């Protein structure tokens, strides 16, 4: 497996281009299953998760072509050959479950493997299944697979979600576009990726209102047409690179960055003494004099502080002045990076869903191991300011969600390289 070597201590200066959002693209690609006409996504990120979703859609009979070096993905599902999402693909990536709603809507049935646990917690599917059952689907668990059927087709309904799950909102939104009559999603997730999905569906002729709020209304239509849609900016990649100059020192402009995508995160950065400026092309971040100050963080659904930036924020707080408390409220086991950061000299105590971080002046490089996608990038960030060499192992997690991290950070002055597995 490849590893990444970081030598800390260089300030960062320059621009980093932020890619299209992984999590938006993973919800947009299954939209192809809702129409016989071509769907073209632009501004797609070049990531292994996108290739995994392509393989899954191809296994269902869709045509998926990466163009322009992966920046554009052309999809077409005029003839589907299967309605089964196999365990072999689903276990690699939980977002594979996003084919469930579209397959049910288009084909009236779907067999989708349950994803199983992952490093950050149990991640069940009950909110997805309860929501689709409310539209008239019958769903049964057999041999680790959800067998879903909607004999008379899906019918609109008022569907309250017990928690504002991102994936369940996406599955339900896609399914409801082709259901008979109107659907109301109550306690819907409000993430920008949901708004992006709804905008793409509207381009295709879907009737949707209220996305971005907790109440989404969908009026079902008979068919959807094709469309070309640009994927929204990746707010998690954006937040990650905004933290780089805070940790390493210097000034970085994140091209394509938008304040409205990272408002809660920027509030915390400013409270820590970081300067964030909106520019013509994005967001510029500069660490004010000296170390950042400690801040407390609670992860919440959007518009709250994103769980997907918690590990990176912790890496920054390890060298802040004072004591910070981080509370993880979305996932049950998302502090796996803490013991790795402690190997680099961080002072962290974890009790259940709360981590207390006492800032130290300097971290020290060490060999560390990445357990999940966001944890791995937090270790790279920590390495940027650590004394000496940090070797981050098992970076296949990283390649699921960050394109060319070593090139992007290297171009602004970080001493970072990938060591290929022989
Ligand atoms: C999406 C993101 C992921 C992010 C997460 C929370 C994608 C591809 N992934 O994941 O990066 O960390 O949102 O912002 O967009 N839950 C249930 N039952 C369900 C569904 C979820 O109990 O049926 C729980 C989960 O275990 C978790 C919480 O709800 O504790 C949030 O999950 P959810 O919002 O569904 O996240 P994902 O859509 O899987």
Task: Give the position, in ligand 1's atom list, of the atom nearest the Cα of 193.
Answer: 15
- How far apart, in Å, are the Cα atoms of 355 and each of 133, 206, 329, 335, 358? 38, 44, 12, 8, 10
Q: What is the pLDDT of residues 166-206, one digit of tens each?
A: 999 999 999 999 999 999 999 999 999 999 999 999 999 99
Instruction: Quote the tokens at residue 141.
Output: 């668990």
Q: Tell me, using a 6 A CB cutoff, whether residue 100 lines ligand 1.
A: no
- How far apart, in Å, are the Cα atoms of 363 and each of 187, 376, 390, 398, 410? 42, 16, 10, 21, 20
Atom 29, ligand 1: residue with shortest CA distance? 165
Q: Tell me, using a 6 A CB cutoff, whether residue 126 lines ligand 1.
A: yes
Say whether 87 sits in a helix, a strand or coil: helix
Q: What is the pLDDT of residues 86-95, one digit of tens each?
A: 999 998 899 9
DSSP 419: E
pLDDT at 300: 97
Q: Tell me, using a 6 A CB cutoff, whether residue 194 lines ligand 1.
A: no
Per the listing, tokens 């500069």 go with 286
Which positions ≥6 away from 363 have C-beta within 8 Å? 8, 318, 319, 341, 344, 345, 346, 382, 383, 385, 386, 387
CB atoms within 10 A of CB 233: 24
Atom 35, ligand 1: residue with shortest CA distance? 165
Q: Tell me, using a 6 A CB cutoff, whether residue 268 lines ligand 1.
A: no
Q: Tell me, using a 6 A CB cutoff, whether residue 334 lines ligand 1.
A: no
Q: What is the pLDDT of residues 366-382, one digit of tens each?
A: 999 988 888 899 999 99
125, 97 in Cβ contact below 8 A? Answer: yes
282, 253 in Cβ contact below 8 A? Answer: yes
Task: Give the position, in ligand 1's atom list, of the atom nearest the Cα of 170.
Answer: 38
Name beta bridge partners: 19. none
pLDDT at 295: 98
Query: If you measure from the C-alpha of residue 169 to the centroid of ligand 1, how many angstroms do you get, rounded to a whole number?
Result: 10
324, 317 in Cβ contact below 8 A? Answer: yes
- Examine the residue annotation and report whether 254 is marked as an active-site residue of this protein: no
pTM (global) more than 0.95: yes
DSSP 37: S
Instruction: Place 75 in a pLDDT band, splitting at 50, 70 and 90.
Output: very high
| Cα radius of gyration rounded to whole Å, the chain | 21
Instruction: Place 284 in a pLDDT band, splitting at 50, 70 and 90.
Output: very high
Query: If you measure from the C-alpha of residue 412 to the centroid of ligand 1, how many angstroms do you get, rounded to a whole number?
Result: 33
Percent of the chain with pLDDT over 90: 88
Query: If you measure from the C-alpha of residue 23 to the centroid of ligand 1, how many angstroms do you get, rounded to a whole number?
Result: 11
């Amino acid at each position: 497996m490849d590893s990444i070597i970081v030598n800390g201590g260089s300030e960062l200066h320059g621009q980093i281009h932020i890619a299209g959002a992984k999590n938006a693209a993973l919800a947009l690609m299954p939209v192809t299953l809702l129409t016989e006409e071509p769907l073209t996504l632009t501004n797609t990120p070049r990531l292994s998760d996108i290739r995994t979703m392509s393989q899954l859609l191809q296994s269902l009979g869709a045509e998926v072509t990466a163009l322009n070096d992966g920046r554009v993905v052309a999809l077409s599902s005029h003839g589907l050959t299967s309605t089964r999402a196999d365990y072999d693909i689903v276990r690699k990536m939980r977002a594979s479950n996003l084919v469930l709603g579209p397959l049910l809507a288009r084909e009236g049935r779907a067999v989708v493997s349950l994803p199983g646990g992952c490093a950050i917690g149990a991640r069940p599917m009950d909110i997805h299944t309860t929501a689709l059952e409310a539209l008239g689907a019958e769903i049964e668990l057999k041999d680790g697979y959800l067998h879903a059927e909607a004999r008379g087709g899906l019918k609109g309904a008022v569907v309250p979600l017990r928690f504002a799950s991102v994936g369940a909102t996406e599955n339900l939104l896609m399914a409801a576009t082709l259901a008979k009559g109107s659907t109301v999603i109550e306690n819907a997730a409000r993430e920008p990726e949901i708004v992006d999905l709804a905008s793409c569906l509207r381009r295709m002729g879907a009737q949707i209102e209220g996305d971005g709020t907790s109440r989404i209304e969908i009026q079902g239509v008979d068919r959807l047409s094709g469309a070309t849609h640009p994927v929204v900016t990746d707010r998690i990649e954006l937040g990650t690179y905004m933290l780089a100059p805070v940790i390493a020192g210097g000034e970085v402009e994140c091209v394509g960055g938008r304040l409205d995508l990272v408002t809660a995160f920027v509030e915390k950065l400013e409270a820590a003494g970081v300067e964030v400026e909106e520019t013509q092309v994005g967001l510029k971040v500069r660490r004010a004099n000296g170390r950042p100050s400690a801040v407390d963080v609670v992860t919440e659904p959007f518009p709250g502080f994103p769980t997907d930036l918690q590990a990176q924020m912790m890496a920054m707080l390890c060298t802040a002045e004072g004591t910070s408390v981080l509370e993880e409220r979305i996932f049950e086991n998302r502090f796996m990076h803490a013991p790795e950061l402690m190997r680099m000299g961080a002072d962290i105590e974890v009790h259940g869903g709360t981590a207390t971080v006492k800032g130290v002046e300097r971290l020290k490089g060490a060999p560390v191991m990445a357990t999940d996608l966001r944890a791995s990038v937090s270790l790279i960030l920590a390495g940027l300011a650590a004394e000496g060499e940090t070797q981050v192992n098992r970076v296949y997690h990283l390649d699921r969600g960050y394109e060319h991290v070593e090139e992007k950070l290297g171009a602004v002055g970080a001493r970072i390289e990938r060591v290929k597995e022989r």
